[in-house]
Amino acid sequence: MNKRTKILIADDHSLIRKGLRQVIEANTGFEIFEAENGKKALELIQQEKPEIALLDIEMPEMSGYDVAVKANSEELSTHLVFLTMYKDETMFNKAMDIGIRGYVLKENTVTEITKCIDAVLDGNYYLSPAISDFLVKRNQGSNKPSGKGKEIQELTPTERKVLKQVAEMKTSQEIADSLFVSIKTVQNHRNNICNKLGLHGAHALLKYATENEAYL
Amino acid sequence: MNKRTKILIADDHSLIRKGLRQVIEANTGFEIFEAENGKKALELIQQEKPEIALLDIEMPEMSGYDVAVKANSEELSTHLVFLTMYKDETMFNKAMDIGIRGYVLKENTVTEITKCIDAVLDGNYYLSPAISDFLVKRNQGSNKPSGKGKEIQELTPTERKVLKQVAEMKTSQEIADSLFVSIKTVQNHRNNICNKLGLHGAHALLKYATENEAYL
DNA sequence: TAAAATCTAGGTACTTGTACCTAGATAATT
DNA sequence: AATTATCTAGGTACAAGTACCTAGATTTTA
């Protein structure tokens, strides 16, 4: 008897698990395992050694990222794929750093899932189109990353720190206190950021910051 | 030929739709319709007049709540069920006010979905256990809609209009222009809102507005 | 009809943010 | 070693938001 390909689905939402299972069953003959939290997921990866594990990043007990780190440290052969709701560049970069083979946004069509599984089983990588911008940025030295939040890369580290707090709707005074600098310094940073991003008028910066909070 | 019971699934995440479809198909013989946004959902409710519509509250184009309000105003016979990620008491109360028949949290087990469908088809209500607390509160205390966004109910219609535009980060001048009133009027509304909501300090109103935008 | 709520618009004072400057200290790069 | 970028902090001016007032017109409610 030929050994069936094993695949693990780890997500805390049973509906998502059902959806994934349905999609996978309709397109493959894989043996499917389900985990509703990170701990369970890691256990199943260790026990069953599936070819692929689809890991939701946001999970109770243990995040998908932590599972991946642990699985990697134990040199398990399972190919890891992240499923997530958010276009989070930081997380994406962290995922690439630990050798994740696929990164799929849940918002996208279900066909992406099957594409991803196929690609990963063929030894390739699969990234949702919406986040492949990040990869370009990552590999090309990053001067002009296209897509949303592209200009953010022009900012200096301190400017980014300030912008993060602006996104939290802190006042310049509050930001100054938290960074142990003068309010004038913060105000200047705000201005410089506005100039770099081409922002003008009342609340322009605040609006930008909140809308692009995810890419900071 | 016996007419099959029709059911509409409206959710912007195709995975969730697949999951719901799988669960429903496994347990019933219903004819299933899918909508990926609120607009499409309303159209399908109008055209197909399904017995039940499962509406995700958070959807593009038109929220599930708006769909429900519209469907109600047209006196369509479809029983409406809300699906949501969040235990939001304000939304729950609004849902009850417009005669929603079921309110199910996505986090819960899939069996809830089938229970809910059964209950609603029998003419009953179904609420996820996790939010049935709200119902108790609602029927006992009644006057004070507690929980998130509770104080919004205290606002006058004009104040709510203003707050909506504040959430869009418009300036008082811009809001004044759009409402054809003086900037002072808008500023006064802002102040009155702050007082009613107990808000103090810089950006307090803006912060509140953006965080509670969904309940305006 | 009288009372209460709402919408309107004004005044004043203060705080916060934006815009445009200069400029020294430090760190990074060439 | 010199240039550049960054971080720091100051000044000035104006726009916008917050806080606390008064007050007339209109609408709702009792």
pLDDT digits (tens, 9 = 90+) for B137-191: 443 333 333 344 456 777 888 898 898 888 888 889 889 988 888 999 999 999 8
Full-model pTM:
0.47
Spacing of C-alpha A179 from chain mean position: 27
B128 CB below 7 A from strand D atoms: no
B173 CB below 7 A from strand D atoms: yes
Confidence (pLDDT) at B136:
44
CA separation for the pair B196, B163 (Å, rounded): 12
Query: Nearest CA to A14 among B110, B129, B112?
Result: B110
**B52-68: average pLDDT:** 87
**B81-89: average pLDDT:** 77
Residue A205 and residue A190 in contact, taking contact as beta carbons nearer than 8 Å: yes
Contact B18/A14, CB-based, under 8 Å?
no
CA separation for the pair B147, B101 (Å, rounded): 21
- Specify the DSSP class assigned to residue A198: T
CA separation for the pair B13, B152 (Å, rounded): 30
pLDDT digits (tens, 9 = 90+) for B113-144: 887 888 788 776 677 766 655 544 443 333 33
Give the confidence band of A34 by pLDDT, cuts at 50, 70, 90: very high
Q: Are strands A31-35 and A6-10 parallel, antiparallel or unpaired?
A: parallel
- Length B188 CA → C12 C1' (Å): 14
Spacing of C-alpha B116 from chain mean position: 18
Confidence (pLDDT) at B90:
65
Residues 151-180 of A with CB under 7 A from strand C: 170-173
Arithmetic mean of pLDDT over chain A? 79
Q: Are strands B102-105 and B79-84 parallel, antiparallel or unpaired?
A: parallel
pLDDT of B35 strictly over 90: yes
pLDDT of B213 strictly over 50: yes
State the SS3 of A83-151: EECCCCHHHHHHHHHCCCCEEEECCCCCHHHHHHHHHHHCCCCEECHHHHHHHHHHHCCCCCCCCCCHH
Confidence (pLDDT) at A41:
93
Strand C nucleotides within a 7 Å radius of protein CB atoms: 5-11, 15-23
List of long-range contacts for A181-190, beta carbons under 8 Å, 24+ apart = A186/A162, A189/A158, A189/A159, A189/A162, A190/A162, A190/A166
Distance between first and last Cα of chain A: 51
**A58-67: average pLDDT:** 84
**A68-90: average pLDDT:** 80
What is the SS3 assignment for A157? helix
Chain A residues touching residue B106 (CB < 8 angstroms): 13, 15
CA distances from A89 to A148, A209, B21, B154, B167 (A): 11, 15, 32, 40, 26
CA separation for the pair B56, A109 (Å, rounded): 17
Confidence (pLDDT) at A61:
79
Confidence (pLDDT) at A44:
93
A121-130, A176-185, B22-31: range with lowest mean pLDDT: A121-130
Confidence (pLDDT) at A55:
93
A143 CB below 7 A from strand D atoms: no
Task: Tell me which amino acid residue B143 is.
Answer: N
Q: Pull the structure tokens for residue A36.
A: 């509703």
Q: Using alpha carbons only, how large is chain B's radius of gyration in Å? A: 20
Confidence (pLDDT) at B93:
67
Confidence (pLDDT) at B50:
92
Query: Nearest CA to A102 among A111, A87, A112, A90?
Result: A112
pLDDT of A136 strictly over 50: no
Chain B nearest C-alpha distance from A1 (Å)? 30
Query: Nearest CA to A89 among A126, A54, A130, A56?
Result: A130
Confidence (pLDDT) at A18:
84
Residues of B within an 8 Å Cβ radius of A: 12-23, 106-110, 113, 169, 171, 201-203, 206-207, 210
What is the SS3 assignment for B104? strand
Confidence (pLDDT) at A104:
85
> Which member of A16, A21, A113 has the closest CB to residue B16?
A16
**For an interface test with A, which of B15, B20, B27, B208 has the most A Cβ atoms less than 10 Å from its Cβ?**
B15
Pseudo-torsion of CA B157, B140, B88, B123, nearest 10°?
Answer: -100
pLDDT digits (tens, 9 = 90+) for A139-184: 333 322 334 445 677 788 888 889 888 888 888 988 898 888 999 9
- Which nucleotide is nearest to B156 if distance is taken from CA to C1'? C6
Q: Pull the structure tokens for residue A39.
A: 């701990």
Query: Cβ neighbours of residue A42 under 8 Å, at least 6 residues apart?
Result: A62, A67, A70, A71
A29-33, B69-73, B85-89: range with lowest mean pLDDT: B85-89
Task: Tell me which amino acid residue A193 is.
Answer: I
**A76-92: average pLDDT:** 79
What is the side-by-side order of every strand in the sheet holding A102-105? A31-35, A6-10, A52-56, A79-84, A102-105, A126-127
Confidence (pLDDT) at B146:
36
pLDDT of A32 strictly over 80: yes
CA separation for the pair B86, B94 (Å, rounded): 14
Backbone angles phi, psi at B84, to 5 degrees: -155, 160
Confidence (pLDDT) at A10:
94
Confidence (pLDDT) at A33:
95
